[in-house]
Amino acid sequence: MGTGAPVPASAGADRYPEYAQETAMSQKAQSREAPEPETPHLDFAGTTPYEDYVKADVLTHLQHTLSDDPGEMVFLVTTQVMELWFTVVVHEWETAARALRSDDVPAAMAALKRSVRELEALDASWKPLSGLTPAQFNSYRGALGEGSGFQSAMYRRMEFLLGEKSASMLVPHRGAPRVHAELEKALHEPSLYDEVLRLLARRGHAVPDAVLNRDPAQRYEPSPEVEEVWAALYAGDESDELARLGEVLTDVAELVWRWRNDHLVATRRAMGAKAGTGGSAGVAWLEKRARKNVFPELWTARSRV
């Protein structure tokens, strides 16, 4: 029986020919290893390719604080980061809506699944502001003037894609023609959920004509018949493509609710029940928003399964 002691290299070659062969192969492999990487390319005629693609210099010079409080910088950067995430999520949902119009459910689901990860990152953006005290917020709140998050055009496009349409929300953007035109276009286009319901109808499900032919510029209202369609899908084969689409949409809806709720909590902690900077009811307005379900029948249908 062996002792388990290591075999000396000198003895290995004589007593264990296979050991000598392995050693030679190992040394040969090491000799073929790639050399240490050379210094990366550092000299460019103009800006770096990274800068050309990312525009980092532009992004990192967009922060212009309006107070002397050092905490304003994190508030400003966090808000700008949220705007970038809004932009990505809108891109994903518009991609999903186009895919649904073409009956390409896999492509739609891929975009929606990407948006789930992006919504998680968006929600995490509240972390730097989640412990903001009233005194800390008040130290630079005046710099915001009448500025408020509900004036965000990209966030409004997110809401429109969710079916939360409101023509009055275009009013703050009348002074920005391009932004106003984009929002007006989004207002009159079918929402993401409209495209889902049209797909269900094309697949033979009894979505009522009143839902299919409604004015897309109006806020979506829940339908008992649509609830019945989702209940039937959930009571059937869970591997069905449309049932799986419903679950991905539910993931999206849940994360939107979490974002709204975290917004509410951060605001309540920073300013209590005071009026919002943009003239809204502040926390009361956010509480109302947090109570609204996105894709409502996907939630109510569960009680019938």
Name the more confident of 9 and 172.
Answer: 172
- pLDDT of 106 strictly over 70: yes
Q: What confidence score (pLDDT) does residue 7 get?
A: 47
Q: Which helix (H) or strand (E) holds 242?
A: helix 241-271
Residue 49, Cβ density class (10 Å: 0-12 exposed, 13-18 middle, ≥19 buried): exposed
CA triplet 108, 150, 130: central angle to 5 degrees? 90
- Residues that constitute the known binding site for substrate: 141, 277
Domains of the chain: 69-151+191-304 (1.20.58.480)
Band (39; pLDDT cuts 50, 70, 90): confident
- Residues that constitute the known binding site: 141, 263, 277
> For residues 252 and 116, is the Cβ–Cβ distance under 8 A?
yes
* Residues 6+ positions from 126 with CB-CB distance below 8 Å: 78, 259, 262, 263, 266
- pLDDT of 305 strictly over 80: yes
Structure-token pair, residue 167: 């023509």
- pLDDT of 20 strictly over 80: no
Please give the model's pTM, rounded to 2 decimal places.
0.84
- Residues that constitute the known binding site for heme: 263
Q: What is the CA radius of gyration of the chain?
A: 28
**Per residue in 185-205, pLDDT tens?**
999 999 999 999 999 999 999
